[in-house]
Structure 1
Amino acid sequence: MVPPHRYYYLQNFRRALDVVRRCYCDLLDAREQAFFVNFDRLPHSAQALFVRMAMRRGPWFRASRLVYEEIPDILAAAEALVALGWLQDQADMTLDELFDVCTMPELRAIFGAPAVAARRKGEWLEALRGLDVAPRPYAEWCPGAEPAWRFSLGDHCDRLRLMFFGNLHQDWSEFVLADLGVFRYEAVAFDGDARAFRARGNIDVYLTLHGCRQALEAGTPVPDLLSVVHACVSDNAWLEQRRAKVLFRLGQACERAQDWHTALRVYEQCAYPGARHRRIRVFERLERHQDALALAQEAQTQPESAAELQAVTRMMPRLQRHAGEPRPQRLQRPPIARQDLVLSKPSDPLSVEIVARDHLHTEDAPVYYVENTLINALFGLLFWKAIFAPLPGAFFHPFQRGPADLTAPDFATWRAALLEECFAQLDSDAYRDTVWRHYEEKWGLLSPFVAWGALSDELIRLALDCIPADHLRRFFTRILQDLQNNRTGLPDLIRFYPAERRYELIEIKGPGDKLQDNQSRWLQYCAEHGIAAHVCYVRWHEGETCSIQ
């Protein structure tokens, strides 16, 4: 007798089916409705085998590779699935699929080609492709061999998974990881009928866009995909954001192919962040210098983000020169402070950030390597209530590490009142209590801002004691301005001066390294707002090494 817990994956799959059936009953077509009925009628072992296959990479499965203690009779379980057409035992198998499921000795037996024994599998496959070998059923490839089946409901399972998770990067293993406590999620009291999609067409658009991205990565020409992407226009703002991202990727592919005219056409129809900057670059490639300058001036006047403003400002002298325009006087900005440090190169394979941290650290002025973790964590802990607010469209399944609209343009607008409540706590010591309470109560719960492993009681205490509330307000305001980009680029180290209740941020650069754009933007922001931050350039003593304990 197999204990019930051995079927944990089947129980999880049924839970997901129940949610999809309840929440999307009005969007399911006849085939999908029939799937639920037929699945419920399957023998227990056939249900288990179906889910096992749905969780594995297919589409082909050989009987000998399906070994599960709780499914003792694989052939009988498969027979029930074949009867429904969910498994195909007579489907044609391509040459590529054959090479995917067979070992080299098996392939030599099929093709009788000992001369290719020294070749790698991929090289042999490439050679056989040139012979235009026709697909055929597995039984014809391997007469008398074990049964093999083609899993025919892969696309259907992807659609079910998409409806449950609202994305395709999560899979059924989320249930297992949550049950084991590997991943722990905030319990958000969202509506029992909450769902990611409001219309069946939205699901179709998502899957089509996903297919376009896969096709692009597989080498499909951009012109073949453009009409498909254009046909995916919808009134769903979230899907339009995804469509814009696919268009952006198509434009980048055109640039790599030096197809400047098509790239320009794509970017002109693309609202994804960065598309305007790419248009300026393409105008340059086409030597349309006046157009490039005009668009850059528009971007400078109304930048979509600090990242775009930085990129365009850097381009401006070149654009003006090529357009025959006089160069205006450059705006003077506060300089980024600099420190030079010469250290003995460690004999152990340690990063330059760790070496610099250990050198700068003292008992009276402790130094921590935090990079993006500390400020983001303080933001996440203070704004926990706003981030995990059960707003419509934000949460619809129990395995979300954050709201689905986290990077949407209207994220802050939808939560304006909640965010303001959190900011108001910075006017008193209330924020300290909130941070500590969430640090203790929410420890280990997944969050898009909090990396728990990088935190400690001592680090949180020093941060709250030494970073003024006004500086936290500055940090948090900038993060909210661009949640996609401004969570990265923060300096590597933070040095606290507890006796003076102050701190400084330090970006470490080793020999040959230079500031990245997002790092420069954060350092410039700190300089403009009176926040102590500088770049420390490290170089090694010639020929000297030391051992770091």
Structure 2
Amino acid sequence: MPNQPITTDPPPLYYLDNFQQALDWLQTRYADLLTAQERDFMRQFVLLPVSSRALLVRLIMRKGPHFRSDRLRYPEIGCIPTAAGPLLELDWLSDSQPLDAEQLGQLLRRDELAALLPAAAARSGRRKPELIAELAATQPQPRPFSQWCPGHTASLFTLLIGELCETLRLMFFGNLGQGWEEFVLAQLGIFRYEQVELGPDSRGFHCREDIECYRHLHRCRQALDEGMAAGEVAELLGEQRPDNPWLASRLARLQFSLARQLEREEQLEAALALYQRSGWRGARQRQIRILEKRRDHVRAHALVQQALAEPEDDAEMQLVLRAERRLARQLGLPPRAVAGKADSPRFDLVLPGPHPLGVELAVREHLSSDQAPVYYVENSLITGLFGLLCWEAIFAPLPGAFFHPFHSAPADLHSPDFHSRRRQAFDRCLARLESDSYRQHLRHIWRHKQGIQTPFVNWALLSEELLEMALHCLPARHLQLWCQRLLADLRAHRTGMPDLIQFWPQQQRYRMIEVKGPGDRLQDNQRRWLDYCARHQMPVEVCYVQWTR
């Protein structure tokens, strides 16, 4: 499927061509999973007149399912009622779908709505929601648009196959967060994507049950986001045990979110049970907190010992060490000896302010000079260099990583086995740091991949000037250490990095600076990065700022 940007306006029926490409893609890769209804849809779709196919795709791409004909203006389609005729015959559209007053109110202007009510209501100046409420009270029975608005010049079309089309979209993208507009955004060059080699087995779902599981998880996530009580959502979720590792990861994350909400609502027993089932990163530490809160110190201490023996990451280690000291006091046990940490050097500044662009920019302006420029790089420079150096490993065409041409990142990016599945590829990338060839490689990737969507490179920030300064002043050993830390936990370790970096090109050296304004203090993820840098003798300092009065 081509992913080359076009330099002129897209052809009039670009969206129809894109939709047909997606259907062809699905028939190639998902033929064994398509239902009889989906296969019939694809077969009948290509037999329709071009105008009917174009109208259907336009409606699929719009927010529906109800559409007024007088608001459908597409010169390339022509007469809308004529184009709708074959779709009505197939029962893909309806022109007689019953609407209640609320649905009707979303389709009418205020004056059109007022015309359906007694004259007094129309002249009252009430807002549209109030008019809808009155219409619902006086005429509660659903009826077709033509009966609500007899004599109206517009017809109403209702899309009846929205669920089917949404399933096809889910199968193509592997998620419901992306839409058909991805095609034209890529064609126009607004978004560019890495062209990963995709074979017939490049798909996110392996059986029909995977598709239904995804949709169920999506509905539960929506219900939680829309305010449904966490206990009710947990009951709705039920006992899901997907075999698909990607779906199992989504389930674990949802269970963690539900447990977190239950914990906030003080439903500690239910939260504890759901954390135990989840296994998502951080779930064990939350169990410890709940057991402490319930004064079940013995069980909490046992979990702490498990975590200390095999911590899932350094974030958990940091938290359980604190818990271990608290629990040791409660249980009358000797506290664990903790190795001292290397503190990062500190310096203080008093600057005019507050600065309109923030404390970090104030420090940058104060410290920067021609001989020692300072750049604002928070969480972007190190991740950007990692993204350039390890580009081929990140975009390796592994099964289950890429399903379609519009991925900005592998689908398993945050899975626990992301690194292990690509270990050899990452080892090859990091091996470049053993010679000066890595500098030329990073320059090559920066030039040839410029603007391509990636989870690691901020193209707007990583200018050629900053890249060259970093390649000149940063030791390869430090870049290797940063990459190794990122690979240990890509989700957690890509944040908390120092705000600024200062270079001394003539001495070929640098320092990173974490900036703290008045009343601000170091966060846990920042402390972990600072400690890592200090342990490996990387130059990093903490700057505390006070404003002049």
Shared fold per TM-score greater than 0.5? yes
- Unmatched segments (≥5 aa) in structure 1: 543-549
Separation (CA, whole Å) in 2 of partners of 1:125 and 1:172: 33
Separation (CA, whole Å) in 2 of partners of 1:308 and 1:116: 64
Q: Kindly tell me: are residues 354 and 44 of structure 1, through their superposed partners in 2, closer, same or farther at Cα, counting changes over 3 Å? A: same
Query: Match for residue 402 of structure 2?
Result: 395
Query: Match for residue 237 of structure 2?
Result: 229
Letter in 1 for 2:30: Y
Give SS of 2:352's match. Answer: strand
Q: Kindly tell me: are residues 328 and 415 of structure 1, through their superposed partners in 2, closer, same or farther at Cα, counting changes over 3 Å? A: closer
> Which stretch of the first structure deviates more once superposed, 477-486 or 218-227?
218-227
Q: Which of these residues, 504, 509, 515, is aligned with residue 497 of structure 1?
A: 504
Separation (CA, whole Å) in 2 of partners of 1:332 and 1:127: 71
- Unmatched segments (≥5 aa) in structure 2: 1-8
1:371 aligns with 2:364: no
Q: How far did 1:325 drift?
A: 4.6
Q: Which of these residues, 213, 216, 221, is aligned with residue 224 of structure 2?
A: 216
Letter in 1 for 2:368: H
Q: Which of these residues, 109, 121, 146, is aligned with residue 115 of structure 2?
A: 109
Q: Which of these residues, 240, 265, 286, is aligned with residue 294 of structure 2?
A: 286
Superposed, 1:129-148 pairs within 5 Å as 133-145=140-152, 146-148=154-156
Q: Which of these residues, 278, 291, 296, is aligned with residue 270 of structure 1?
A: 278
Separation (CA, whole Å) in 1 of partners of 2:123 and 2:289: 49
Superposed, 1:328-347 pairs within 5 Å as 328-345=336-353
- Alpha-carbon displacement from aligned partner over 1:131-174 (angstroms, at most 9, x marks no partner): 99444433343333322222222221221111111111111111
Letter in 2 for 1:253: Q
Q: Which of these residues, 264, 278, 285, is aligned with residue 256 of structure 1?
A: 264
Letter in 2 for 1:303: P
Query: Match for residue 469 of structure 1?
Result: 476
Q: Percent sequence identity over matched residues?
A: 47
Q: Kindly tell me: are residues 110 and 465 of structure 1, through their superposed partners in 2, closer, same or farther at Cα, counting changes over 3 Å? A: same
Query: Match for residue 437 of structure 1?
Result: 444
Separation (CA, whole Å) in 1 of partners of 2:380 and 2:133: 47
> Which stretch of the first structure deviates more once superposed, 501-510 or 386-395?
386-395
Separation (CA, whole Å) in 1 of partners of 2:354 and 2:275: 48
- Alpha-carbon displacement from aligned partner over 1:170-205 (angstroms, at most 9, x marks no partner): 111111111111111122222144222121111111
Q: Kindly tell me: are residues 110 and 412 of structure 1, through their superposed partners in 2, closer, same or farther at Cα, counting changes over 3 Å? A: same
Q: Kindly tell me: are residues 4 and 508 of structure 1, through their superposed partners in 2, closer, same or farther at Cα, counting changes over 3 Å? A: closer
Q: How far did 1:286 drift?
A: 3.1
Q: How far did 1:219 drift?
A: 3.1
Separation (CA, whole Å) in 1 of partners of 2:468 and 2:39: 55
Letter in 2 for 1:48: A
1:172 aligns with 2:180: yes
> Which stretch of the first structure deviates more once superposed, 460-469 or 88-97?
88-97
1:20 aligns with 2:20: no
- Alpha-carbon displacement from aligned partner over 1:263-321 (angstroms, at most 9, x marks no partner): 11211111111212222222234333332333233223321122222233344444444
1:412 aligns with 2:419: yes
The two structures have a TM-score, normalised by structure 2, of 0.92
Separation (CA, whole Å) in 2 of partners of 1:472 and 1:188: 26
- Alpha-carbon displacement from aligned partner over 1:470-528 (angstroms, at most 9, x marks no partner): 11111000000001121222111100011111111111222233323322221121111
* C-alpha contact (below 8 Å) 2:113/2:131 kept by paired residues: no
Query: Match for residue 10 of structure 1?
Result: 16
Separation (CA, whole Å) in 1 of partners of 2:264 and 2:111: 41
Letter in 2 for 1:415: R
- Alpha-carbon displacement from aligned partner over 1:244-277 (angstroms, at most 9, x marks no partner): 1111122122223322221112111111112122
> Which stretch of the first structure deviates more once superposed, 399-408 or 45-54?
399-408
1:204 aligns with 2:212: yes
Superposed, 1:91-130 pairs within 5 Å as 91-112=97-118, 114=121, 120-121=127-128
- Equivalent pairs counted in the alignment come to 539
Letter in 2 for 1:26: D
Separation (CA, whole Å) in 2 of partners of 1:362 and 1:199: 60
Q: Kindly tell me: are residues 96 and 334 of structure 1, through their superposed partners in 2, closer, same or farther at Cα, counting changes over 3 Å? A: farther
Q: Kindly tell me: are residues 414 and 4 of structure 1, through their superposed partners in 2, closer, same or farther at Cα, counting changes over 3 Å? A: closer
Q: Which of these residues, 178, 181, 184, is aligned with residue 192 of structure 2?
A: 184
Letter in 2 for 1:534: E
Q: How far did 1:422 drift?
A: 1.3
Q: Which of these residues, 525, 533, 536, is aligned with residue 532 of structure 2?
A: 525
Separation (CA, whole Å) in 1 of partners of 2:329 and 2:227: 38
Give SS of 1:399's match. Answer: coil
Give SS of 1:195's match. Answer: coil
Separation (CA, whole Å) in 2 of partners of 1:381 and 1:325: 49
Q: How far did 1:39 drift?
A: 1.0
Query: Match for residue 486 of structure 2?
Result: 479
Give SS of 1:396's match. Answer: coil
Query: Match for residue 546 of structure 1?
Result: none
> Which stretch of the first structure deviates more once superposed, 128-137 or 57-66?
128-137
Q: Kindly tell me: are residues 515 and 192 of structure 1, through their superposed partners in 2, closer, same or farther at Cα, counting changes over 3 Å? A: same
Separation (CA, whole Å) in 1 of partners of 2:266 and 2:361: 42
Q: Kindly tell me: are residues 4 and 473 of structure 1, through their superposed partners in 2, closer, same or farther at Cα, counting changes over 3 Å? A: closer
Query: Match for residue 545 of structure 2?
Result: 538
Q: Kindly tell me: are residues 75 and 500 of structure 1, through their superposed partners in 2, closer, same or farther at Cα, counting changes over 3 Å? A: same
1:34 aligns with 2:43: no
Query: Match for residue 545 of structure 1?
Result: none
* C-alpha contact (below 8 Å) 1:260/1:285 kept by paired residues: no
Separation (CA, whole Å) in 2 of partners of 1:4 and 1:241: 39
- Alpha-carbon displacement from aligned partner over 1:440-496 (angstroms, at most 9, x marks no partner): 221122222111111222211111111111111110000000011212221111000
Query: Match for residue 45 of structure 1?
Result: 51
Q: How far did 1:121 drift?
A: 4.5
Letter in 2 for 1:486: H
Query: Match for residue 449 of structure 1?
Result: 456
* C-alpha contact (below 8 Å) 1:299/1:312 kept by paired residues: yes
Separation (CA, whole Å) in 2 of partners of 1:209 and 1:148: 33
Q: How far did 1:238 drift?
A: 0.9
**RMSD of equivalent CA atoms:** 2.4
Give SS of 1:341's match. Answer: strand
Separation (CA, whole Å) in 1 of partners of 2:188 and 2:10: 16
Letter in 2 for 1:60: H
- Alpha-carbon displacement from aligned partner over 1:331-363 (angstroms, at most 9, x marks no partner): 42111322211111167x322211211111011
